[in-house]
Amino acid sequence: MKDKCGVVGVRFDVEKNRDAAALYIYYALQALQHRGQESSGISVTNGCCVLSDKGMGLVTDYFNRERLQKLAGYAGIGHVRYSTTGGSKLENSQPFTVSYKNGTIAIAHNGNLVNYKELKHELESHGRVFTSDSDTEVIAQMLAMELIKNDIVEAVRETMKRLVGSYSLVILIDDKVIGVRDPLGFKPLCIGHVDCGYILASESVAIDTLNGELVRDVAPGEMVILGEKIESYKLVKCKNHAHCMFEYVYFARPDSIIDGKLVYKVRHNIGEILAAECPTDADIVSPVPDSGITSAIGYSNGSGIHYAEALIKNRYVNRTFIMPAQELRETAVRLKLNTVKSNIDGKRVILIDDSIVRGTTSRRIIDLIWRGGAKEIHARIGSPPIISPCYLGIDMASRDELIAAHKTVKGVEFLIGANSLYYISLEGLVKAIGIDKDDLCTGCLTGVYPIEIPGEKCEDKQMKLNQFAPE
Amino acid sequence: MKDKCGVVGVRFDVEKNRDAAALYIYYALQALQHRGQESSGISVTNGCCVLSDKGMGLVTDYFNRERLQKLAGYAGIGHVRYSTTGGSKLENSQPFTVSYKNGTIAIAHNGNLVNYKELKHELESHGRVFTSDSDTEVIAQMLAMELIKNDIVEAVRETMKRLVGSYSLVILIDDKVIGVRDPLGFKPLCIGHVDCGYILASESVAIDTLNGELVRDVAPGEMVILGEKIESYKLVKCKNHAHCMFEYVYFARPDSIIDGKLVYKVRHNIGEILAAECPTDADIVSPVPDSGITSAIGYSNGSGIHYAEALIKNRYVNRTFIMPAQELRETAVRLKLNTVKSNIDGKRVILIDDSIVRGTTSRRIIDLIWRGGAKEIHARIGSPPIISPCYLGIDMASRDELIAAHKTVKGVEFLIGANSLYYISLEGLVKAIGIDKDDLCTGCLTGVYPIEIPGEKCEDKQMKLNQFAPE
Amino acid sequence: MKDKCGVVGVRFDVEKNRDAAALYIYYALQALQHRGQESSGISVTNGCCVLSDKGMGLVTDYFNRERLQKLAGYAGIGHVRYSTTGGSKLENSQPFTVSYKNGTIAIAHNGNLVNYKELKHELESHGRVFTSDSDTEVIAQMLAMELIKNDIVEAVRETMKRLVGSYSLVILIDDKVIGVRDPLGFKPLCIGHVDCGYILASESVAIDTLNGELVRDVAPGEMVILGEKIESYKLVKCKNHAHCMFEYVYFARPDSIIDGKLVYKVRHNIGEILAAECPTDADIVSPVPDSGITSAIGYSNGSGIHYAEALIKNRYVNRTFIMPAQELRETAVRLKLNTVKSNIDGKRVILIDDSIVRGTTSRRIIDLIWRGGAKEIHARIGSPPIISPCYLGIDMASRDELIAAHKTVKGVEFLIGANSLYYISLEGLVKAIGIDKDDLCTGCLTGVYPIEIPGEKCEDKQMKLNQFAPE
Amino acid sequence: MKDKCGVVGVRFDVEKNRDAAALYIYYALQALQHRGQESSGISVTNGCCVLSDKGMGLVTDYFNRERLQKLAGYAGIGHVRYSTTGGSKLENSQPFTVSYKNGTIAIAHNGNLVNYKELKHELESHGRVFTSDSDTEVIAQMLAMELIKNDIVEAVRETMKRLVGSYSLVILIDDKVIGVRDPLGFKPLCIGHVDCGYILASESVAIDTLNGELVRDVAPGEMVILGEKIESYKLVKCKNHAHCMFEYVYFARPDSIIDGKLVYKVRHNIGEILAAECPTDADIVSPVPDSGITSAIGYSNGSGIHYAEALIKNRYVNRTFIMPAQELRETAVRLKLNTVKSNIDGKRVILIDDSIVRGTTSRRIIDLIWRGGAKEIHARIGSPPIISPCYLGIDMASRDELIAAHKTVKGVEFLIGANSLYYISLEGLVKAIGIDKDDLCTGCLTGVYPIEIPGEKCEDKQMKLNQFAPE
């Protein structure tokens, strides 16, 4: 399960810091590297022209002193990307930069447009062409069209009227850095204050890394413009929001604060609630590292059962290739995870994981623990069963692949080979997050989505009250 | 003086050769490598989708077995590029590929649009955006606009109505490979026949390399479509043409046949005519390698003076960096050219070069020969003085830099340090080429251009009779 | 504090697995990647010749399918390296391969020869030359000299007589894979059994990764020969051993079993003992990740104080460059570690770290936690004060840089800015490890070393009873 | 047919030029790039330590500004390499650098030791080890052994006593640059004078490139030491020499002066003598480019037959891969050479080539010319038939592969498909070179070698009078 992207924007007071925007973006992108490892890019302006550089790989693999020194400017944006289907190509990497009548626009996008194809077809029917297959190019073209007719605020407002889906955007127009969040607030975006300037970032850890201070989240439907000063425009009002609950469960770093909630605290709550919802007698509670760690600690604190590491993760294995030799069939798992036998042997183990998607990884991990000599294995999952795909930016799996779309909890329990399996209840998860259920997107857990998606059910609470607000 | 590009298109009978288009393009591009060494690219179709790959460097540096094997298809195009101003960036490399309403278009372009900025501004004023700063993207956008309204023939005809400048295009639309040459025929483009298919190429050497046969040149104003069969459409008729005479003098390989004329023969003629126009007593005649070689042989044959190599070229020095140390001031020249002293010492030398642009290289070379002990040096130049810039695709120099724009022949003679300097007459050059003067572009030699260029004189012979022909 | 290397050897039954030695080594080296990230290398034999490949970077960065397929063989060795002083050069990477009279020897070495310079000078005084500056080349030359006079067993015995220092060696001679461990057993080396063959590895996790079974440790002073069968030779006997206690505290993976002791258990014990030796009232106990994690869990279990993560580590930052801008002075730390404020704010924090070397990192981390709003910070360290350098293979620091060599515990406490500082007692550490104190090397903690080092004190218990044993 | 290497040494007056040795070597190696394209390397000293860098590829591919700036020194050596059998490995690249008792020696070697294996076995039998499979390491070890017993002059003299074969060496010992040429002078080596210092180089073009002056050749058996001043030692005297005649025919650049003879002049003579020895009526004389060019000019001047280019060489094709498709069977040749049809069609062509080794290339080229419509083709070869392998440093072919070892001239004529074939006579070649036949190595042309080679005949004139001269 992979998220799509991380975005950053930085705007300095040109009198105080004329050159360092790219350097700040470089550090901020490193703090967001967990949101995408495929490609990274930076675009900055020095007031005269836009300088861009992007390439495949981690931020620190691609960018070096020489590349950064060529990117002197006082305002800019950055992006790290994990590719969904559509392919791992340099053409799809971001920021996406286009020239138009009045200059250059650079856009960095986290999210997924549900009506991407319709918008693209509409533009194509007017003879427009596309050089990539990303939805970001659609946004860029629509925005450019509006910008030759309107000022920035109206242009963004008009563009937002057409976009359906999730989008947290950071845009460089002239020397302004603009942040936009979709009306339902699927993906996070926050504002921070640093020496001599302001920053926009997908997660607050990027602000921490720059020794800055988190000011607040960008509100759903809001546009902020970082220029000489910060301007804010509430462009679209919705009665409810639809924050992605998987940011708390899995994607975000535990040290991030998203929509006012510290992720660490949410995950700790999940563990405590799991312990309370389904009390289980055991010798140890252990996480599947890394995403299960905090919940396992919470479970231990809630239940009084000893926290112990049954599994150790190899920190250096990102990409390896596996030969299909029979005798090495387990090595793929063993390269990433190994067991600590003394914590397992003869023990009743509660294993905490964030979610189950296809079930294959869970089965392999549980098999490893059985081989370590466990007496019992009880799987406890930090999210309810995933029964429906995500259309809003998570490259999860198709419905066919989602095990919980086809099997009961008992069926999954049998398949993964655990003595017992328990998923946190939806109510429990909502309580752990601390945000009203009506303000969360739970499409993948309920099959009911906050926006209309062809072939899926739509929860009308959120969308029907949408309205484009006068400024 | 650098030309911009080489283009190739290949279309096989899908029944007979389903996969090898990229391989043929790969070899053909190597034969055209002298036309551009900065980047190379290939786009092919397998009938379903378009596969593209392009990168910086020579064809054999970038493409390897693995990259080629991923490009399986039976029709495709290729491009080698030398960048003019605008920068050596991967974004500007070709083929330029866009998706539009009906599919994908890939374009490879040799030439230069004179009204590029006007067309771009017009498109931008309709809200269109650009992702590169090449004129090829302008052509791609215009063509896509037409293709959603018209069939290919009409779409190309309508597009050509708007384009002013030089363009030899090879275009991949669906599984058709289309060749287009501008109405004045500035840049070369020819058709060849190979096993199981047809080929388009900037020069006939690409066809020779594939053991194919040159069928004919694409005519100025003609479009050919390579599909199941070859179709030809004369879309624009002009009374006269404007073939670039520098293709014969400098750019093309001597073994190429361009617009019916073998380049070797033209260069040999140039040498003979130089000998006839300005008889000179000397001990040897020697070329500045490589472009002066054939003319020097012609001069020797015409004059009876011994042909000898006064200068030897280092075949391995393409890119080196020069430190500004005083004692190494001559090394930049010496790395590329060295003298054969016994051919020079005490000799009267006739030195044949193709052209003089800035004069600095000529001065350094003549200085080298003086140091070799020459008794006399007589420079003979295979083109008339270049007095005006090229706007049609040659990255020559600005008018300020053109030495002949500011100095008399005597002035240039003094500056380069030769005992005498003689440029071939325009009539002599025309005679050497064997094409009517009214069918050649001599803008850089006369300051009178075959098309209207702001601030320059225009020869109306060629343009005023232009007309877009009914099919 | 960095260890030097990880070594692996694999020997298959040639009838059963003729080609896959390199693949097994590739996976095993990934499991040992934490022991060295600078360069990696593999040498294998197919029975006829030795094939080698080595390069800079992580195992998965350098080796790919193509490189591995060229290394077909049934016996081989591998190495991952962290460079000490002497430089990060490809020449110094391993396995170190030499040809000699009877064939080829490849050696992979973990450790440090104390008498390296003397041995090298002695060889040089006989006119021998060296192509690297590694001590491994000295071993290779000495071994080759012996091998032309003796069989393998005698050759190794004679070589070991001259070597002073730490060395766990894996050697490929003909198609035999030989493991040698120095008489005091400083560095780990163990034997495992896999399908169709045997394996030698620095840590047992490499065996786990291959789904093999740990057979036993190679004993100090022992040589094992993996051929058609396993042969064992106890070449040197010492009354006591000198296992490096930092393998348990810091270097090894927690899931490894070294000299019979599970590292996880040792670290958990350390936490419990710290809690018992210095009871402290606090709200949470938190590790400095990653090396402090297991001890912090042990501390929590021992004390009943809640385990919580005060610090989150960025998993993607290995190499970044830091600009010396004043306002980014903290970013170097923040890129690697960020605080979870809710776990800190207003809390009394017990912080568990494995060791303090220079003190600068500790000070910065503690400063971060203060900024997070901690009420009290109590540093608890899993090893006694490091007062003396390591000469046996750890690139720790010079005596000048070791803060505990110059300051009292109170002085260090003041410098790092904690409310209190407590180091585990030497007795406590020994108890945690569960190996007799006389069988551990505690040179860096006591200044008394198990072997003679010029200018340092030597504990004669271990060395004086050394003797080279008859086979 | 490929030569092995090019060598360079530079020594500046430290007071006048402390840092630029590597830069001069970099330029000089570019001038020698035709002697080896596989790897390149530079070693320099700053008076304190030796700095080395070497890598695969052309000089300008591997070395850049950054690499050169790290090589600051006032004395140094360089090497370009073409690998013979033994493999294209970085370990075998040069300069070969070893540390020994008194410091560091760096050696660059052009040539081939005939008794390499014997010397290596002898050293191995004393327990010495080798890290490469080049004969240069043997020389390095022997020299180091001598240097700990003797001064440089005696050490080199003693080493030379043992070496049999061809060797032009440039050696860096301390801050002295030493040039050594084997007693028979197989391979070239010359001395030049540049600003603030002296230079040694395989060919004089390297000196020209640095705007230096050729002082003289290093004499066979001579050692020169470039230090504060130049010292010369004639260490070995032979009555006769054995200069490789293929340096003149093929390897060297035509602008080089080797052993007092300008290569251009020799090649021109070869053409004139071919015309005289075998008068032939024809329409044109044409070279196989590049090595046949100068001889073809000489032939034209000697015979009065017009010089014309029947073949054009593609300057950009170094490495390409060829697919074994039937229809592309000729492309391998066509990529490198194409015909100028108007020069061939209906013409009687005299084709000048430097040599015939296997005959396959000649056959393909002649086939190309037939397809161009030639009426007659007469092959004229600038060297006598090659009937025996080279043991002295040319990677020619085995005897089995040498077509002239097995076929008569008529037989070769038939095989290559020419109307007539004529090889220059040995006497003609000797006359063209202008060096006494007794001072040339003609082993490959006669089967009688100037030194003893097991299984081959030896001409005792040269060797029997060898003696090691007192200084």
Give the mean pLDDT of C276-300: 97
Confidence of residue C195 (pLDDT cuts 50, 70, 90): confident
Contacts of C307 in chain A (CB under 8 A): 297, 300-301, 307
Under the phi-then-psi rule, with left for phi > 0, alpha for psi from -120 to 50, and beta for the rest, what region is B185? left
Q: What pLDDT shows up at residue B284?
A: 97
Return the closest-CA partner of residue B72 out of B151, B114, B117, B14: B14
Identify the weakest region by mean pLDDT among B183-197, C170-184, C309-323, D346-360: C309-323
Share of chain C above pLDDT 90, in %: 81
Q: Which of C128, C146, C158 best tests the D interface by mutation, with the highest count of D CBs <10 A?
A: C128
**Average model confidence (pLDDT) for chain D?**
92
Given a cut of 80, is residue B438 above it in pLDDT? yes
How far is residue C237's CA from residue C157's CA, in Å, rounded to a whole number? 12
Distance of CA A50 to the CA centre of its chain: 27
Q: Token digits for C99?
A: 């040809």
Say whether A100 and B140 touch across the interface (CB within 8 A). no
B90 touches chain A (CB under 8 A): yes
Asked if residue C208 lies in contact with residue C40, where contact means CB atoms within 8 angstroms, the answer is no
Q: What pLDDT shows up at residue D24?
A: 95
Give the mean pLDDT of D453-465: 70
Given a cut of 50, is residue D448 above it in pLDDT? yes
Q: What pLDDT shows up at residue D316?
A: 87
Give the CATH fold of the C266-316+325-433 domain: Rossmann fold (3.40.50)
Q: What pLDDT shows up at residue A230?
A: 95
Share of chain D above pLDDT 70, in %: 93
Return the closest-CA partner of residue D81 out of D134, D132, D135, D5: D5
Asked if residue C32 lies in contact with residue C4, where contact means CB atoms within 8 angstroms, the answer is no
Q: Which residues of D91-100 are buried (b: 16+ CB within 10 A; e: fewer)?
A: bbbbbbbbbb
Q: What pLDDT shows up at residue A125?
A: 92
CATH class in words for A5-242: alpha beta
Residue C140's CB is within 10 A of a number of other CB atoms, namely 26
Confidence of residue D470 (pLDDT cuts 50, 70, 90): low
Give me the residues of C, 186-245, that contact A with CB < 8 A. 194-196, 205, 208-211
Say whether C20 and A264 touch across the interface (CB within 8 A). no
Give the mean pLDDT of C202-224: 97
**Average model confidence (pLDDT) for chain C?**
92
How far is residue B410's CA from residue C443's CA, in Å, rounded to a whole number? 87
Model pLDDT for residues D98-129, shown as the tens digit of each residue: 999 999 999 999 999 999 999 999 999 988 99
Instruction: Tell me the sheet residues that pair with A223.
Output: A180, A233
ipTM over 0.85: yes
Identify the weakest region by mean pLDDT among B265-269, C451-455, D162-166: C451-455
**Given C27, C196, C309, which is nearest A294 (Cβ)?**
C309
More confident residue, D270 or B36: D270
How far is residue C144's CA from residue D125's CA, in Å, rounded to a whole number? 10
Model pLDDT for residues A107-129, shown as the tens digit of each residue: 999 999 999 999 999 999 988 99
Say whether A328 and C31 touch across the interface (CB within 8 A). no
Given a cut of 80, is residue A470 above it in pLDDT? no
Give the mean pLDDT of C258-280: 98
Residue in A5, A190, A238, A444 annotated catalytic:
A5
CATH code reported for the domain at B264-433: 3.40.50.2020
Contacts of A56 in chain C (CB under 8 A): none
Contacts of B98 in chain A (CB under 8 A): 129-131
Q: Which chain A residue's Cα is nearest to B143?
A: A127
CB burial class (10 A; 0-12, 13-18, 19+) of residue A400? exposed
How far is residue C42's CA from residue C96's CA, in Å, rounded to a whole number? 10
Return the closest-CA partner of residue B120 out of B101, B139, B94: B139
Given a cut of 90, is residue C366 above it in pLDDT? yes
DSSP state of D130: B
A5 annotated active-site: yes
Confidence of residue D86 (pLDDT cuts 50, 70, 90): very low
Say what the alpha-carbon torsion angle A449, A452, A458, A463 is, to the nearest 10 degrees.
90
Distance of CA D250 to the CA centre of its chain: 9
Identify the weakest region by mean pLDDT among A184-193, A261-270, A330-339: A330-339
Given a cut of 70, is residue D327 above it in pLDDT? no
Given a cut of 80, is residue B131 above it in pLDDT? yes
Establish whether the linkage from the previous residue to D188 is cis, with ω within 30° of 0: no
Given a cut of 50, is residue A465 above it in pLDDT? no
Model pLDDT for residues D136-188, shown as the tens digit of each residue: 999 999 999 999 999 999 999 999 999 999 999 999 999 999 999 999 999 99
How far is residue C166's CA from residue C179's CA, in Å, rounded to a whole number? 14
Give the mean pLDDT of A253-263: 97
Longest dimension (CA), chain D: 72
Model pLDDT for residues A138-191, shown as the tens digit of each residue: 999 999 999 999 999 999 999 999 999 999 999 999 999 999 999 999 999 999
Confidence of residue D83 (pLDDT cuts 50, 70, 90): low
**Average model confidence (pLDDT) for chain A?**
92
Q: Token digits for D125?
A: 């039998």
Q: Which residue has the tokens 């220079």?
A: C358
Confidence of residue A461 (pLDDT cuts 50, 70, 90): low
Confidence of residue D288 (pLDDT cuts 50, 70, 90): very high
Q: Which amino acid is at B391?
A: Y
Q: What pLDDT shows up at residue A316?
A: 87
Residue range A267-433 in CATH 3.40.50.2020: yes
- DSSP track, A257-302: EETTEEHHHHHHHHHHHHHHHS----SEEEE-TTTTHHHHHHHHHH
* Contacts with C37 (C-beta within 8 Å, 6 or more apart), sequence order: A316, C57, C58, C80, C82, C318
Give me the residues of B, 400-419, that contact D with CB < 8 A. none
Give the mean pLDDT of A311-330: 72
Give me the residues of D, 105-134, that contact C with CB < 8 A. 105, 121, 124-125, 127-133
Give the mean pLDDT of B241-245: 96
- Domain boundaries along the sequence of chain B: 5-242, 264-433
Q: What pLDDT shows up at residue B86?
A: 46
Å between B308 CA and nearest CA of chain A: 48
How far is residue D426's CA from residue B393's CA, in Å, rounded to a whole number? 54
Give me the residues of C, 242-301, that contact A with CB < 8 A. 253-255, 262, 264-265, 290, 293-294, 297, 300-301
Q: Token digits for B186?
A: 């500035």
Given a cut of 80, is residue A460 above it in pLDDT? no
Given a cut of 60, is residue B103 above it in pLDDT? yes
Given a cut of 60, is residue D3 above it in pLDDT? no
Contacts of A312 in chain C (CB under 8 A): 205, 253-255, 264
Confidence of residue B85 (pLDDT cuts 50, 70, 90): very low
Give the mean pLDDT of C79-100: 79
Asked if residue C34 lies in contact with residue C5, where contact means CB atoms within 8 angstroms, the answer is no
Model pLDDT for residues D5-55, shown as the tens digit of each residue: 999 999 999 998 899 999 999 999 999 999 998 899 999 999 999 999 999
Q: What pLDDT shows up at residue D1?
A: 44
Residue B345's CB is within 10 A of a number of other CB atoms, namely 12
Coil, strand, or helix at residue D138? Answer: helix
How far is residue B382's CA from residue B361's CA, in Å, rounded to a whole number? 16
Q: Which residue has the tokens 């000998």?
A: B275
Q: In what order do the strands lie in the sheet with C348-353?
A: C306-307, C284-287, C348-353, C376-381, C420-423
Asked if residue A31 lies in contact with residue A205, where contact means CB atoms within 8 angstroms, the answer is yes
* Contacts with B134 (C-beta within 8 Å, 6 or more apart), sequence order: B86, B92, B94, B96, B109
H helix and E strand count, chain B: 17, 28
How far is residue A129's CA from residue A325's CA, in Å, rounded to a whole number? 47
How far is residue A469's CA from residue A153's CA, in Å, rounded to a whole number? 12
How far is residue D341's CA from residue D344's CA, in Å, rounded to a whole number? 5
State the first-to-last Cα distance of chain A, in angstroms, to the nearest integer.
38
Asked if residue B270 lies in contact with residue B327, where contact means CB atoms within 8 angstroms, the answer is no
Instruction: Tell me the sheet residues that pair with C420.
Output: C378
Q: Token digits for C402?
A: 């070791």
Given a cut of 60, is residue A324 above it in pLDDT? no
Residues of D involved in catalysis:
5
H or E element, residue B7 = strand B5-12
DSSP state of B291: T
Model pLDDT for residues C331-361, shown as the tens digit of each residue: 778 889 999 999 999 999 999 999 999 999 9
Contacts of C308 in chain A (CB under 8 A): 297
Identify the weakest region by mean pLDDT among B81-90, C147-156, C273-282, C387-396: B81-90
CATH code reported for the domain at D265-433: 3.40.50.2020
- DSSP track, B198-252: EEEESSHHHHHHTT-EEEEEPPTTEEEEESSSEEEEE-EE-SS--EETHIIIIIS
Pure H helices in B327-442: 331-336, 341-344, 360-371, 409-416, 426-433
